[in-house]
């Protein structure tokens, strides 16, 4: 059963930017960070972003990420969509639940068909992180991941994520260290966006959002379980995965027969990994998501070399969005295809593809520092 609390709606919309952020959590345990043009709320569970408010083209504050009203629901939600959380220590899939480092083979938990997803049981998106620092505009969560606490993930890892808001901008940086063993480390912020906050009266799908990724000319080909095959293919202009040659609506290829199983068996739309051009300015925007209806535009800059996009095919229409979203008088359910997850990260399953040359960015041992940094800048079209 999914759950929702309606009582917060009116007050939250009205007061979205009325007061500054606070270094103390509210009654629900949410920390609020605030700066000009932006307000963001976080909970320690999975280092999750619960709410993100920016102004639309009419100056209306919109909560543009998915989540629940009730912060206590995240840990018990059986669906666990990893809403705006940090999965780890190695995100996405590990093919066949195995990998090798220095000729030693490790076996991980197969929790996604034949593969491992998000490191398996006890992954970081199921833990309460420690709050190690908090101000009105910035906070840091940290985690100690004991050796083998997720099957086959050897060596203690300490990690932290720092969220900062500044004018119209949400910045995220992550660090991780493995003190005594070489181990796979690959992280992301698993952010689900809906730039209309489900308030567009005639359409709540993501298909009319527009995506632009001029640096994403290659894609990791994947099998029916969304596991990369090893092939990295150039994306021809006009192809279903082409968001580089021009900005396109996410639904532009929806008439195409291939679209129906494009992200695995029975999965239509997108759930894949795009590789960015190696020679690019990492300070510049690499991806822009926008919606004509709200006029909201979100621009990603990242030091990561790839991005995973997932257009919410598996939503079954039975989960409600937050009371801070939607329109009074309409039902409150997230439809299939109602959102997009955007996850800047390294190449999926790179630990099993030495031929890609990603091992230095995915395997870390004593004395080596894992670092990840991205930012989202918001504006209107």
Binding residues for ligand NAG, rule: CB under 6 A, are: 5, 19-22, 70, 72-73, 76, 96-98, 102-103, 107, 111, 117-118, 120-123, 126-130, 136, 143-144, 148, 151, 154, 202-203, 205, 207-208, 251, 254
**Dihedral (CA of 16, 21, 27, 31) sign:** positive
Residue nearer to ligand NAG on the CB measure, 155 or 214: 155
* Ramachandran region, residue 248 (left: φ > 0; alpha: ψ -120 to 50; beta: rest): beta
CB of 271 to ligand NAG, least distance (A): 14
Encoding tokens for residue 339? 């959102």
Provide, rounded to whole angstroms, the least separation between the CB of residue 71 and ligand NAG. 8
Q: Which is nearer to ligand NAG, 151 or 307 (CB)?
A: 151
Which residue, 54 or 253, has its beta carbon nearer to ligand NAG? 253
Residue 67 tokens read as 């989540």
Closer Cβ to ligand NAG, 256 or 277, answer by number? 256
**Phi, psi for 126 (deg, rounded to 5):** -115, 15
Give the residue with the Cβ less far from ligand NAG, 23 or 295.
23
Least gap, CB of 237 to ligand NAG (angstroms): 22
CB of 244 to ligand NAG, least distance (A): 21
Tell me whether residue 19 or residue 283 sits nearer to ligand NAG (CB atom): 19
Write the CB contacts of 28 (distance below 8 Å, at least 6 apart in sequence).
43, 70, 71, 72
Distance of CA 9 to the CA centre of its chain: 25
| Minimum distance of ligand NAG from residue 19's CB (angstroms) | 6
Q: Are 153 and 39 within 8 A, CB to CB?
A: no
Instruction: Report in angstroms the alpha-carbon separations of 128 from 44, 48, 143, 225, 292.
Output: 5, 10, 8, 29, 37
Our CB check for ligand NAG shows the closer of 125 and 285 to be 125
Nearest distance, CB of residue 112 and ligand NAG, angstroms: 7
Q: Which two tokens stand for residue 166?
A: 């500044």
- For residues 236 and 354, which CB has a smaller minimum distance to ligand NAG in the complex? 354
Nearest Cα neighbor of 298 from 245, 331, 340, 326 is 340
Handedness of CA 176, 182, 183, 186 (dihedral sign): positive
- Using the minimum distance from each CB to ligand NAG, give the nearer residue, 110 or 282: 110
> For residue 78, what are the contacts with CB-CB under 8 A and spacing of at least 6?
none
Cβ closer to ligand NAG: 159 or 301?
Answer: 159
Sign of CA pseudo-dihedral 73, 74, 76, 82: positive
Q: Which residue is nearest to ligand NAG (CB)?
A: 22
The 8-class DSSP code of residue 10 comes to: H
Q: DSSP 3-state assignment of 194?
A: coil
At its nearest, how many Å lie between ligand NAG and the CB of residue 64? 18
Shortest distance in whole angstroms from residue 18 CB to ligand NAG: 11
CB of 82 to ligand NAG, least distance (A): 7
7: number of Cβ within 10 Å: 9
Q: What is the 3-state secondary structure (H, E, C) of 366-379?
A: CCCEEEEEEEEEEE
CB 379 within 8 A of CB 171: no
Smallest gap from Cβ 374 to ligand NAG, in A, equals: 22
For the residues of 267-304, what is the DSSP string, one character each? Answer: --S-EEEEEPPSSS-TTS--EEEEETTT-EEEEEEES-
């Amino acid at each position: 059963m999914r759950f929702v609390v309606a009582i917060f709606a009116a007050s939250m919309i009205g007061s979205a930017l009325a007061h500054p952020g606070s270094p103390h959590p509210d009654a629900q345990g949410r920390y609020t960070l605030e700066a000009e043009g932006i307000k963001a709320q976080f909970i320690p569970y999975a280092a999750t972003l619960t709410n993100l408010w920016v102004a639309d083209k009419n100056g209306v504050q919109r909560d543009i990420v998915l989540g629940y009203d009730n912060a206590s629901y995240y840990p018990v939600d059986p669906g666990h969509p990893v809403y705006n959380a940090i999965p780890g220590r190695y995100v996405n899939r590990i093919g066949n639940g195995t990998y090798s480092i220095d000729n030693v083979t490790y076996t991980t938990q197969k929790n996604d068909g034949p593969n491992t997803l998000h490191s398996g049981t006890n992954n970081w998106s199921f833990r309460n992180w420690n709050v190690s620092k908090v101000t009105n505009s910035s906070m840091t969560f940290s985690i100690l991941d004991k050796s083998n606490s997720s099957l086959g993930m050897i060596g203690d890892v300490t990690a932290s994520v720092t969220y900062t808001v500044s004018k119209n901008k949400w910045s995220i940086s992550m660090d991780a260290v493995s003190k005594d063993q070489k181990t796979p480390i690959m992280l992301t912020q698993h952010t689900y966006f809906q730039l209309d906050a489900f308030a567009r009266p005639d359409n709540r799908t993501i298909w009319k959002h527009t995506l632009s990724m001029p640096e994403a000319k290659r894609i990791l080909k994947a099998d029916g379980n969304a596991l990369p095959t090893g092939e990295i293919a150039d994306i021809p202009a006009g192809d279903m995965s082409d968001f580089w040659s021009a900005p396109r609506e996410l639904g532009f290829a929806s008439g195409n027969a291939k679209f129906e199983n494009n992200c695995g068996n029975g999965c239509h739309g997108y759930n894949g990994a795009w590789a960015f051009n190696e020679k690019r300015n990492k300070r510049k925007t690499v991806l822009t998501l926008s919606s004509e209806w709200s006029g909201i535009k979100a621009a990603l800059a990242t030091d990561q070399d790839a991005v995973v996009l997932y257009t919410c095919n598996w939503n079954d229409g039975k989960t409600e969005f937050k009371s801070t979203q939607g329109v009074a008088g309409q039902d409150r359910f997230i439809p299939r295809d109602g959102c997009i997850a955007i996850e800047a990260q390294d190449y999926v399953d790179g630990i099993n593809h030495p031929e890609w040359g990603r091992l230095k960015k995915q395997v870390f041992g004593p004395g080596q520092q894992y670092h990840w940094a991205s930012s989202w800048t918001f504006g209107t079209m």
